Amino acid sequence: MNTQKVAITVPKDLIMMVDDISKKKGLSRSKFISLIIKEKILSERDKKIKAVYNSVFSDKSIRQEQQNTANWFDGAGSEKGQEW
């Protein structure tokens, strides 16, 4: 994995908390901070994706089309599955 050093200014009390938690988890400060940043970025990405889905499916016609399609698929096959 490629890494790059960065310099940031962080309040001392926050660094003390980071050091305490990372020590308990057996991680370096750098690794712990990297994991937390990655977790936050993925969370933000997921929120954005959810917002887009919610925007699309707030449209009544799209929501109805999706419901009709799901109902069709639900009734299209047998318990053994659909023959294609």
Domain boundaries, the chain: 12-73
- 16-74 pLDDT, tens digit each: 999 999 999 999 999 999 999 999 999 999 999 999 988 887 888 888 888 888 888 87
- The DSSP result for 30-63, as a single string, is HHHHHHHHHHHHHHHHHHHHHHHHHHHHTSHHHH
pLDDT at 84: 59
Q: Are 37 and 30 in contact (CB under 8 A)?
A: no
Cα–Cα dist 82/76, whole Å: 7
Helices (runs of H) and strands (runs of E) counted in the chain: 3, 0
User: Does the predicted TM-score (pTM) go above 0.75?
Assistant: no
Beta bridge partners of 81: 78
